[in-house]
Amino acid sequence: MEGDIILKGANVLDISRRRAGVLIGDPHGGTIGAAMQAVVGRRVRLIHPVGLEKQVTDDLNDLAQLLNAPGAHAHGFFPQLVKYLLK
């Protein structure tokens, strides 16, 4: 329902580019797949609580290409833009 909020923890954080990433272990998209359906379809707000210990300096799009490449033996990866960061 519009106005609802989903909290989905992130696995990695790139503060300089304002992005967070979520690993996808389920071939059907897992919890982030279900969350994104609600965000897009019902205009639900998605918040990624994540600690600074998960910060990386690499570009998350580059990491996603490596992890999502055909034949990669890893979980899938879903990078997202982070709209709001607490200072």
State pLDDT tens for residues 25-62.
Answer: 777 778 888 888 888 888 888 888 999 999 999 888 88
Asked if the structure places residue 86 within a domain, the reply is no
Whole-angstrom distance, CA of residue 30 vs CA of residue 9: 13
- The residues that bridge with 42 in the sheet, in sequence order, are none
Asked if the structure places residue 87 within a domain, the reply is no
Would you say residue 76 has pLDDT above 80?
A: no
Q: What is the pLDDT of residue 1?
A: 66
Provide mean pLDDT across the span 3-22.
89
State pLDDT tens for residues 61-75.
Answer: 888 787 777 877 666
Asked if the structure places residue 66 within a domain, the reply is yes
Q: What is the 3-state secondary structure (H, E, C) of 12-71?
A: EEECCCCEEEEEECCCCCHHHHHHHHHHHHHCCEEECCCCHHHECCCCHHHHHHHHHCCC
Instruction: Tell me which residue range forms the domain holding 16.
Output: 5-81
Tell me how many domains the chain contains: 1
pTM (2 d.p.)? 0.71
